[in-house]
Structure 1
């Protein structure tokens, strides 16, 4: 029997909603403020996964202009019934303060690759909405319920509302609270399954941090507060397994194989610590974001689902007996010559789709039109892809001729509008065209080179920029001939590009680090930058004593 190595979807791939249609498995993941919305993968064996086109690829289906960081698409729900795929998704417009203004939508498709129907507005009661397709033909929307009142807990249980397939609208008069969670609080991410005369409700609790967990409750009806919580430990958690390779497991969904085996796909994270830090406090930093893991499930004598190997889960999991070969690339490395008129599926933009207002791609070149700064949530020329390994190099060739310091173009490592770094070509009063490295940390901007910025020799047409990510830290390099690279003497802390770091200062943030290409011209003259020959090369997830890298995973974070 083959083994599945976790995480199955490395890098920022949170809140998995997994289903099987015949012999093919599909996973939908949250994308938050990144466009296109909802990330889809498919597999025949639960171990190897191929990226599919994202369903929310037009502004008719999703327009997030102005959305706050970590707003947007929260915990989509993918299901299959009546010969078509059903996708429920939430667009969150307010994240800070007492309110969580949001809208839940529904779209369907007969083919996973689309086209997807125009969105149907459902409600704004709460996020993490999912559909139950009951055996009698009825359909219900289960969702977290948000309460803004400062004298109530904001997580007001799980609400269930019947969905009328004739009108394609919810029936609000049928809404009832079916579960309030346990004393761990923060019940969210509901998924309901009808199995052997029971409705099983899977619920995330404890917040999506190191105390995260998933619990299971069941009932023979869908009546108000009729669900009973499984006895004993949580279904899955790493709160009490601090040395495990995987952490934060919880929010996820259940799937069965054709042969009748059961698996649970969950968000997960892989933290590391700086050498001077305790391994338990802080438990660590996760710049790769919340990834997707999978665990095998068995049913105990009382009919409750349990995780094989205990509620902490495993790094290596027994694969399905009926697994089929799935051809996938060796890793997530990408070499993009920008030869096509559309961007590769691995590229993402912020809040809105890539368009002529932002730039063009094709014929071996990406042209970005200088727009707002990297702090801008409305007007930004940036394309980026996920960090998906602890060690990688990313390189790009840039042509840019700025005439003022408000113009910048280059390579960025980006978490959100308040946390990023940027190696870029710009202009200053001393040397004209120069290379600078800057960082935005909790909204505080730092230029590292200032008037010692690296002078670009007169007559130089192209500059090559490279970032070298080495797990706990990363650097930038430059070259004027594509062969001889010089390291810029600035070493940056990768922890700053993690949920864990951002959460220390404000809000709830849920994404992960990206590496990308950006052009800024906040002077408003819309100066263009030309990019070509981009390379993202993964090296592995472990540094060896001889200085080489390899892919490795173990049951312990500290082997």
Structure 2
């Protein structure tokens, strides 16, 4: 019996999947937004088992997002292979709210996925979601959506007129520049909000897939084709290849934005992003994830989902019989290496040595207290993706604050408006305490609440911190070093607010939830906090 692909194939925050095959190897690049290093690349040889192998944008010259607002940064990369090189096209978005996006597009290359990637080549700033198509005549074509600022399209409330079609221009790899006329080749369907273009060629036809409908519950993959790369493009008989927009009860919602791929033996698949909402509020706490659908070509020369219709399936046939490798239910990190474990990232800055060190105190992750939790510039927060609706995270912190302005702890984090944190700090009367900071999506102010007020006094020594998330519920725990009984701290909190739809709602933000360690010192003295370990366990 043929193996099964279980969707999502990349759980947790892994949106806008661009897939590329080189021989028997498949690679998927996904957006990372404000998280550093930029772009996640996963590898597979069977489309069933995937491993994170690279985050290529790792130097200041390639990516510096200090000051980028929440949900800005790296949008919708495109990964391709031609002429002995991997090509990665990406956008660094510098603004979200208001009429402007300030979206700058770049290309980097590498002969190998896991090697060092080149210095970036600036391309244009006319819109976001760029892609690069290598035609069989040797020409290369650069595509991106065009952003029209003359509209009432603001962050959280997108309007169709701002998404002004798909632009295409020839890319010259010798001059490393765009050449020739700029053409608007596709206005999109009546669904509107056209973005995320990807081109491929088959049997003399140019096929264009785009994302439409915004990245919420009306999201779709739209398909069109033309005999000429310049168009005009005719719509797919169904208009949309993949969507859940008219089926609110299916497991995979928000389906859209993906790319077509063929296997070496002539089977056909299409990636797409998806979300798995939790009842009763339909909030996607895991953000936008990556899924994969089996497709077929029919006699009319159009691609269709193999199982029929447009609604994505949770389980689809794999290309061949292969065993699925089960991931461990618990991952424990002891910080014994001088390199940060691969599952962790930080926010915005290309200067991580200002935020953390694994060498200063061997066996510990040392965080240097910088700006406040939620800063857009220099925030000491090291975290990993939430990949399950129910999990437990634990850490141990060695931290002796001198003032209430120095804080360190464990957080369930989305952005500066949506997070919960259990932390150690100093109180003028109680001494060192463990307490809770919470921000329930209060946009634009980001006001904190303090569910346990001043908190509970903590004896001398290290402090063990934990949190359990069970779908929409979060409970914090703690105990002092030398004790073995976990004590709950505070009430059950709303974990569902740490989601795409939390706070100001759909389209207001679109990344994903993280669990991690943080420290800040708003006195400016850079007080350090040492973390002995971190564990993530599926419940």
Same fold? TM cut 0.5: yes
Distance 1:355 1:329 in 2: 32
Moved more, 147-156 or 493-502: 147-156
Q: Structure 1 residues 354, 398: closer, same or farther in 2, change over 3 A?
A: farther
Contact 2:35 2:348 in 1 (8 A): yes
Contact 1:397 1:532 in 2 (8 A): yes
Map of 2:67 onto structure 1: 66
Map of 1:83 onto structure 2: 84
Matched, 1:304 2:302: yes
Contact 2:223 2:239 in 1 (8 A): no
Map of 2:50 onto structure 1: 49
Matched, 1:346 2:354: no
Distance 1:440 1:501 in 2: 11
SS of alignment partner, residue 290 of structure 2: strand
Distance 1:503 1:354 in 2: 32
Map of 1:485 onto structure 2: 486
Map of 2:156 onto structure 1: none
Contact 1:502 1:509 in 2 (8 A): no
Distance 2:407 2:337 in 1: 25
**Among residues 159, 175, 182, which one is paired with 1:167 in the alignment?**
175
1:55 Cα deviation from its structure 2 partner: 0.5
Matched, 1:292 2:295: no
Map of 2:165 onto structure 1: 157
Distance 2:85 2:485 in 1: 54
Contact 2:108 2:119 in 1 (8 A): yes
1:419 Cα deviation from its structure 2 partner: 1.1
Map of 1:277 onto structure 2: none
Contact 2:217 2:245 in 1 (8 A): yes
Map of 1:99 onto structure 2: 100
Question: Please, which runs of 5 or more residues in structure 2 have no aligned partner?
Answer: 153-159
1:127 Cα deviation from its structure 2 partner: 0.5
TM value normalised by structure 2? 0.95
Contact 1:210 1:248 in 2 (8 A): yes
Map of 2:451 onto structure 1: 448
Contact 1:44 1:324 in 2 (8 A): no
Distance 1:18 1:331 in 2: 26
Matched, 1:381 2:380: yes
Map of 2:133 onto structure 1: 132
SS of alignment partner, residue 32 of structure 2: coil
Where in structure 2 are the equivalents of 1:158-307 lying within 5 Å?
Answer: 158-171=166-179, 173-223=180-230, 225-232=231-238, 234-274=240-280, 282=281, 284-307=282-305
Distance 2:96 2:300 in 1: 40
Q: Structure 1 residues 71, 285: closer, same or farther in 2, change over 3 A?
A: same
Distance 1:416 1:56 in 2: 21
Contact 1:44 1:325 in 2 (8 A): no
Q: Structure 1 residues 384, 293: closer, same or farther in 2, change over 3 A?
A: same
Distance 2:65 2:336 in 1: 28
Distance 2:151 2:19 in 1: 35
Contact 1:32 1:71 in 2 (8 A): yes
SS of alignment partner, residue 249 of structure 1: strand
Contact 1:395 1:467 in 2 (8 A): yes
Map of 1:28 onto structure 2: 29
Q: Structure 1 residues 93, 34: closer, same or farther in 2, change over 3 A?
A: same
1:324 Cα deviation from its structure 2 partner: 5.6
Distance 1:249 1:332 in 2: 27
1:489 Cα deviation from its structure 2 partner: 2.6
Equivalenced residue count is 523
Distance 1:381 1:402 in 2: 16
SS of alignment partner, residue 446 of structure 1: coil
1:357-386 alpha-carbon deviations (Å, 9 max, x no partner): 112114210111111111211121110110
Contact 1:45 1:325 in 2 (8 A): no
1:161 Cα deviation from its structure 2 partner: 0.5
Contact 2:189 2:239 in 1 (8 A): no
1:229-265 alpha-carbon deviations (Å, 9 max, x no partner): 1122521100112111111111000111111000011
Where in structure 2 are the equivalents of 1:351-370 lying within 5 Å?
Answer: 351-353=348-350, 355-362=352-359, 363-370=362-369
Distance 1:354 1:493 in 2: 33
Distance 1:232 1:267 in 2: 19
Distance 2:253 2:80 in 1: 27
1:20 Cα deviation from its structure 2 partner: 0.8
1:508 Cα deviation from its structure 2 partner: 3.5
Distance 2:448 2:116 in 1: 43
Matched, 1:514 2:514: yes
1:395 Cα deviation from its structure 2 partner: 0.4
Contact 2:218 2:254 in 1 (8 A): yes
SS of alignment partner, residue 356 of structure 1: helix
CA RMSD after TM alignment: 1.5
1:335 Cα deviation from its structure 2 partner: 1.1
1:114 Cα deviation from its structure 2 partner: 1.7
Question: Please, which runs of 5 or more residues in structure 1 have no aligned partner?
Answer: 275-281, 540-559
Structure 1 stretches of 4+ with a deviation exceeding 6 A read none
1:355 Cα deviation from its structure 2 partner: 2.5
TM value normalised by structure 1? 0.91
1:333 Cα deviation from its structure 2 partner: 3.8
SS of alignment partner, residue 495 of structure 1: helix
Q: Structure 1 residues 394, 242: closer, same or farther in 2, change over 3 A?
A: same
SS of alignment partner, residue 402 of structure 2: coil
1:502 Cα deviation from its structure 2 partner: 3.6
Q: Structure 1 residues 331, 143: closer, same or farther in 2, change over 3 A?
A: farther
Distance 1:466 1:482 in 2: 14
